[in-house]
Amino acid sequence: MFIALFALSCSEEPTDQNSPSAPVPLPGVTVRDTTIVATHDSTFKQYLPMDGINNLIGNAQGYTALSVLEFYPAYFALRDTVNVLSATLRVRLSYRLGDATGPFSFDVYRVTRSWSSTTLSWDSVQTGFYDASTNRGGFSGIITSDSAYITVDLDTAMVRQWISSTATVDLKYGIILVPTPSSSVRGFVQFGTSDSASFYPTLQIIASNVSGTTRDTTSYSTGMGTFVGDVTLASDPGIISVQAGVIYRSKLMFDVSFIPRGTTINSAVLSLDPSPTSTRLTSFSTDTTLQAQLDLAGDASSIGGQSVLLTPITGTLTTFTGDISYAVQFWVRGPNYGLVLSPTFPARTSRFDLYGFYGVHASTPAVRPRLKIIYSLGNQ
């Protein structure tokens, strides 16, 4: 809710920030309220970097997720005269989509080019990102716990290059975990995102001297990671979608041209009704808040302004509401490119939550996106 105070003697046109949240009776001022329905909607997909608190892997319910990890080469103790006897990756699970007893499996491949967790997205890994010709490890099993540790044996020749001073840089870009078909979707804790460092991805290397007379064990848990995901949602003209993990956003347009320029928007409450059959959440989806922002360019390439939170009225999946008076005040002054709905952080980068809302073309008019506006204008 946006609340702003303004002096009664102020004569200039209201701005986006000085609209009060409730009408105040004033001489010579008319207060009106009206409810309007959205005139247009659309849903679109954008491949965006995740860089969240979970790394997801799997192939289930139409979703695909690949996880990428790099243990920072600068933290390795360079050792050119040792044999790597074993190299084990350990991760702690933290998320699940689908059957708790479903199969979970993936293969490990070497990444072949530089990358960053803040820029990597689904389309970045489709061509030339990793060497799929040689399997560098893998996991397959049934996991009943949502917070278990799993370990993966990695190719010792690959890991030896990570600790070698003579290996070229392009051999140290890390690994990608690629799910096998029909693998359940699981997530594991990301580097630096937990109070317990023991939850971070950890690489354990057991090495010996060349003669094999001595051996030692070293562990590393400093690096970067992210996941990339994809899904194609079913097309339904009566539904608009907001999808996390794979970013589907929706856009709404409201015609406020009937409100005279210079009008003060006291409140503008947006209401959206979720479709139970088009919404897919899990037991990990404790935060069901969404956000609404202005489309500043007309093609959703630039989204900004104050972010308004939309929350269910009762805390469950009932009508979502939020006061978007800031946006309506902006539209009255012009231009009006509409409102973009998207998941909030960290949910949008850490799990595959899907919200489906009834849109402009819903068969029942009462559940279409609607906006109750209370506004004040001076009498002529």
pLDDT > 80? residue 10: no
For 114-141, what is the mean pLDDT?
97
For 82-108, the pLDDT digits (tens) are 999 999 999 999 999 988 888 999 999
DSSP 316: S
For 188-226, the pLDDT digits (tens) are 999 998 888 899 999 999 999 988 899 999 999 999 999
Query: Which among 125, 114, 67, 115 is positioned nearest to 91, based on CA atoms?
Result: 67
pLDDT > 50? residue 336: yes
Confidence of residue 298 (pLDDT cuts 50, 70, 90): confident
∠ Cα 23 29 34 (to 5°): 55
Rounded to the nearest 5°, which phi and psi values hold at 312? -65, 140
| pTM: predicted TM-score of the whole model, two decimal places | 0.87
For 121-135, what is the mean pLDDT?
96
For 315-328, the pLDDT digits (tens) are 677 899 999 999 99
pLDDT of res. 44: 93
For 148-168, what is the mean pLDDT?
96
- Between residues 76 and 282, which one has the greater pLDDT? 76
> Helix, strand or coil for residue 124?
helix
The percent of residues in the chain predicted with pLDDT above 90, rounded, is: 77
Report how far residue 7's alpha carbon sits from residue 62's, in angstroms, rounded to the nearest whole number.
55
Give 3-state DSSP helix, strand, coil % of the chain, rounded to 5: 10, 45, 45
For 237-242, what is the mean pLDDT?
97
